[in-house]
Chain A
Amino acid sequence: MAKVLVVTSGKGGVGKTTSTAALGATLAQMGEKVVVVDFDVGLRNLDLILGAERRVVFDFINVVQGIANLSQALIRDKRVENLWLLPASQTRDKDALTEEGVAKVIGELRTKFDWILCDSPAGIERGAMLAMRYADEAVIVTNPEISSVRDSDRIIGMLDSKTVRAEQGERVEKHLLITRFDTARAARGEMLSIEDILDILATPLLGIIPESQDVLRASNVGSPVTLNDATSAPARAYIDAARRLTGETVAMMVPSARKGLMDRLLGRRAA
């Protein structure tokens, strides 16, 4: 049965789009049929991260308005066979996305795909509400930083009250994905630790993505980080997270820190 998963955070710039692309690509490589849907109307970027920006002809709003049908708007990834993209519109009219329109498109995608990954815009306005509205599961992307954790807490509250599932007395299964984590800084007490964040947000951990230059390197060339270099630290962390989404039990790896000069001299082991 198809699963609708929203990738959300409240705060902007924490890695929603990067995570949507990486998780989507990995699930597709595992043989699942995946569509990633960009809900950021007016500021679409998922097409760019996937390297499909020049292939966009029709978009989500065109489908909602009946200007194009779904198969005309869906873009198939050139690297991963089972991966598709439904791009957002660049129109400035955010009201063009209606609840009924989203319901219709999600309903149609459910009949065609195993996974529907909804890349939410930042904020708690209409676009973010619509992205989570029909979700069965949610990935909450959080940086180890106070404003991100606060906004995540707010979004968790909304997932528990404003989704169709919540209104029907069911629950949206929530997963916490901690991104841009720096083990060395957390060990030095300069950054919230994994335990701190889990304690505060009380949400099961899906994965820990280390702060890494590989993420920018992959986005520069329009490739999900998992495809650009599958052996890089963030790619391995995303691959593990995707496997957990499918129900596999994968041991949680805390990304190892690079040793600084002082650590080497003192012979300290990286945490």
Chain B
Amino acid sequence: MIAKPAIPDVLREPGPGIGKPLSRVDGPLKVTGQARYAAEFNVPGLVHGYIVSSTITKGRITRIDTAAALRRPGVLHVFTHENRPHVAWFDRKWKDEDAPSGSPFRPLYDDRIVHAMQPVALVVAETFEAAREGARLVQVEYEAEPHETDLAARRHEAFTPGKEKGGFEPPPKPRGDPDRALAEAAVKVDVEYVQPTEHHNPMEMHGSTVVYNDDGTLTVHDKTQGAPNSHSWVCSVFGLSKSAVRVISPFVGGAFGSGLRPQHQLFMAVMAALQLKRSVRVELSRPQMFTFGHRPPTIQRVALGAAPDGTLQAMIHEAVQESSQFENYVEIVVNWSGQQYRCDNVRLDYKLARLDVFTPLDMRAPGAATGVPAIEMAMDELAHALRMDPVELRLRNYTDRDPNQDKPFSSKELRACFAQGAERFGWSRRNPQPRSMREGRQLIGWGVASGVWDAMQGQADARATLGIDGHLVVASATADIGTGTYTVMSQIAAGTLGLPIGNVTFKLGDSALPMAPIEGGSWTVSSVGSAVLAACERVRGRLYKLAAKMEGAPLGKAKPADMVLTDGHVALAADPARRVPIAEVMRSGGVLAIEEEARSVPYYVKRAQHTLATHSAVFAEVRVDEDLGTVQVSRIVSAVAAGRIINPKTAGSQVMGGVVMGIGMALEEETFMDHGLGRYMNHDLAEYHVPVNADIGSIDVIFVDEHDEVVNPLGAKGVGEIGIVGVPAAIANAVFHATGVRVRELPITLDKVLAGLSRRSAA
């Protein structure tokens, strides 16, 4: 262990109030390499497991021969479907917090193969290398069956899913007569957009270290977005009591949704530890990171009809999306279109097609990052057809009520996003004519798009313990996947109790802590932050009561309502100079610590009367090489309205990260399927392209003021998703403005640009 002092002293920065740009409190541990991730807990006697992946896509295992693997020195055991220990039988036992309807995948359950690279065995050995070598020596024979992995081939057999999953809303019923309105519209576009499979690819591969304790209990270090989710799943699948397992996950090397469901490595490591009575680590290899869920490929039709002044008269948005044969993965793809724009004739339609793939999995802004780019590219096409500025077209059809549900928004400062973003970007200088800007052989284009995401909230618990030494410990079983949970929760707590941020410790990522939902969907500040606020307010209330009863009445006859907490003191609100140190208040009341636990529940009634959403306006500048077709994003301005921003520094970073992932979506990211084999071809980081530093130009983030009293007591909506949503369309629209070429199939790679340029010059 390194015992050197932490490097930067972020705890002495000015603060701690809500809204201050504090540096992340976990920063010092991370820049010195002391933050421990799931596969970094080394314990004596630890053994290693390596997963064997199937070489067919569909069929069954006819024979599995582990003899050669078992002969290798160091190999301890090979688990297969033939010798695995008993696991749960009912589907419901395999459900986790993020499971859609259907029958969850069960590793090593039987001889069926339902997707490519399915786990078929686990080799456990004394060393990682011996396990990996053993995995190569396991011989598996299969009886293959025909598979189908091509969405285009199954799109006409797609079905309309039901509710399927919490948080999913099927599209609203059609309004008016969209087909007729489209036919009669003066100006129209009717186009199809195609989006590919993407994989989350957090930098840390999924790993679990399961420590087998002397008393037979398990301490599980898991890469997860919810320690309680992993915990209850493990207990349910293996029939263990809640007290026999503890899941810990203090640091997570990125996830973007990949850790929302318990992944293969968790099952494998727990199974092996229970059977072998030893501590076991299983890490997925990078290619295996492509075997457990992805952003699903989607084909969308968007048809818009408008009057010559730009008023929308018809909107049809239809999506067909991939799901697996065994679960109905759903996300909200098309609803956003009907929510963003006022239009009397609307049809929104969402269907699933079953393919022989693993079930898709929520990936950053699931659904919105797919559907919003389609409507926002179509709006750009419509603006061009109307010879109208694309910002003006959006404002022409702006709505302050959600037309889908006929409810007001709890707050919606999207107009201000457009205004401030346009101002910062210099949008007013834009010549609407495509190909109107160039520097040598570089064609320059400016594009715009809006973004939207839900402002969700779930129930969460938090516990706050204030010691007489002035140190506050706040705990909730939530996660920090890099988002800044440690920091913003510390900030909310410190702000509520008037303590320096250095006096606050926030604990998370532990199934033994007060309950919190999986961290995802931008709802952690809303859910857990509200619980932290509530717990700290209770502590504050008790301090005030103690202060009111103090001997000698140092605050006079002040009632709790007359008091404030500031700088470690209880003070009079009207005269802050009259104050008593917290420690003195507690000593006088005879308490060494004040502990309070609180559960926050959403404002169900107020929420039900409103639509709650974050919004953004994204402006992009691209440079397209006319000869090579390469696209460089030189500038992005993203103006975001997300309620109150607890910490502009960490929130700004979230949005910038979302912008870069959006650049990836627009220009680079695609998991290629070889439909003949039914396998992903580019399942590694060399061939699955994510943006690197050289791909990025300047990124400017604006947070627009937005006041919201419906969303939660903090007024904060969350920012994890909104950063990505508007970006792909803004870039695609900028590419059109630069080149006059519409690429409707993401990512916009140079081959598609060049093909468009040559079609254009041929015409």
**Do A and B come together as binding partners?**
no
Residues of B participating in the A interface, judged by any CB pair closer than 8 Å: none
Interface residues of A (CB under 8 A from B): none
